[in-house]
Structures are given as C-alpha cells and as structure tokens.
Amino acid sequence: MTDNIDYTWETSLTKVIPNHIRVRGYDINELMQKLNFPGALYLLWTGKVPDEPTEKLISAIMVSSMDHGASPPSVNAARIVASTGGPHNAAIAAGVLALNKYHGAAVEDCMQMLIDFRELKKETGKENKEVAREILARLKAKGARAWGVGHRIHTADPRRETLFRLARQCDITGEYIDAIEAIAAVVEEKVGKPMPVNIDGCVAASLCEIGFPKSMANALFIISRTAGIAIQAREEMDTQKPMRKIHPAGYVYVGPDDRTLERP
C-alpha cells in the first residue's frame, strides 16, 4: 500500500544539503571566520547579525553567568550525580534540570516585570520610584516576588557595573536599566538591607534594552551556566571519592591566587 501522507514541514533556521551548511542563509564557513560563538548564537536565535557592541554584550552576559562557585543547587545536583558514578552527560543534565525560576532561570520573569514597568510608566507618566512601588504592589497581590534583586552572597553584584557599561555602548534608551535600579532601590527601602540588582536583573535589563526575545532569555542563561556545571561535574569525577556526602557550603577553594589577565 502506498503511503500518501505528506511528512513535509518547514524550518527557517539552518539549511543543510550535501557539502553545504547555511545558518539563517549565511554560509557556516563565513560565520566561523567573522563571528564568535555568542554572536553566532544571536544570529541563530534572532535572525539578525549583531553589531560589534551587541555581540560584545551577549558575550559578556554569557561569561558573567558561566559559573558561580561550588555552592549553587544546580552544581550540587550535578556533583551528586557525578558522585554516584553517573556519566558526565547525566551529571550535566541534572544540573541543568535544577535551574528554575528561584535559581538561575528568572530572567524571563524579570524581563516581563521590566516590560510591565515601562508600559505603566508610559501610561501614567509617574516617576520611576512611584512606578516601582506600583509594580511591586502588583507582584505582591499575585503572591510573586520582585525578580532580579537581592543576593544571598553579594551586597553589590560584582558583574553589574561591567554589564550595564557594555549595554550602554549599544544603541539603547537605558530605560530598562533605570527600571531595575528603581525597583531594587524601593525593595531596599522596604526591607532595610542591601538588595542589589543581581545577575538575573542585570541580564534581563540588558536584554530588554537590545530587544532580545524574552522567550529565549532563560535559555541563554542555561547555556552559559552549563559551562560551569560541566566542569564542576568533571572535577567531582576526577578529584573526589564516589558516594560522598556533599555539603554545598563545605568546599574550600584551592585554585590559583588572584591574578590579572594579560591580554590585549
């Protein structure tokens, strides 16, 4: 019996034919020579070739997010699986699966909060702090938190200044950066302790500024953090005894002393 079902479907991402690969229409060899990985990722995900400042910002976001030590839950999950004798890919997968809205994947929620902030400011014409108070009241009424502010370790996130400086080198208005800083300031007033713009807030504001698709924001963080999860799991396999009890705060850093990158 002849199968008359049409299995044809469409994709606009990558064209692969014998001896040729094109991503968003561009030859892969040209991309290999003209874009770095973050720039090529931006092209693949958005369909647009990034200018140099945007490519540099995406690169900085990915570097800023790649690792945050041995204590985060995602690393703990990866190390536990590695300690059981699981293969490297299983340990990495365990770490990635631990990335959720309360740990490492709050960027999309934070972007939506900043989008709502911008819309409310346009509607009301109020000052930033007044808008921030209204946004926080809305979140509280829904039982939600203020995304992108506060940190369990840092009283001032060390990545903030560099990310925002690079973002301001792009063609942006700065309104989303102002929004997250206003929200952080109001939260700090309410709780009476430092509530810095954290990495989720920095990344969310920067991505909003350049019009990056919100639906892919958490994926950008996850891909970036996978670099750290992968090496944390590998270190567990190579240097620790199997089936050990792993306390997330029990590690002692024994890596290189502080040093400066000597590179042009």
Query: pLDDT by residue (tens digit) across 61-90?
Result: 999 999 999 999 999 999 999 999 999 999
Q: What percent of the chain is predicted at pLDDT more than 70?
A: 99
State the maximum Cα–Cα separation within the chain, in Å, rounded to a whole number.
75
Per residue in 94-130, pLDDT (tens digit) is: 999 999 888 878 899 999 999 999 999 999 999 999 9
Question: May I ask the CATH architecture of the domain 51-243?
Answer: Orthogonal Bundle (1.10)
Rounded CA-CA distance 17/257 in Å is: 50
Sheet holding 20-23, edge to edge: 14-17, 20-23, 26-27
Rounded CA-CA distance 148/178 in Å is: 13
Per residue in 222-246, pLDDT (tens digit) is: 999 999 999 999 999 999 999 999 9
Query: Nearest-5° angle of CA 94, CA 98, CA 103?
Result: 155
pLDDT of residue 3 exceeding 80, the answer is: no
pLDDT of residue 2 exceeding 90, the answer is: no
Burial letters 100-115, b for 16+ CB under 10 A, else e: ebeebbbbbbbbebbe
Place 141 in a pLDDT band, splitting at 50, 70 and 90. Answer: very high
Residues 6+ apart with CB under 8 A from 209: 167, 170, 172, 173, 174, 175, 176, 177
Element (H, E) at 14: strand 14-17
Mean pLDDT of the chain: 95
Query: Where are the chain's structural domains?
Result: 11-50, 51-243
Phi, psi of 153 (to 5 degrees): -115, -50
Q: Residue 133: what pLDDT?
A: 97
What's the distance, Cα to Cα, between the start and end of the chain in Å? 67
DSSP 155: S
Phi, psi of 95 (to 5 degrees): -65, -45
Residues 6+ apart with CB under 8 A from 191: none
Determine contact, residues 239/80, Cβ cutoff 8 Å. Answer: no
Which of 224, 62, 37 shows the shortest CA–CA distance to 28? 37
Per residue in 27-58, pLDDT (tens digit) is: 999 999 999 999 999 999 999 999 999 999 99
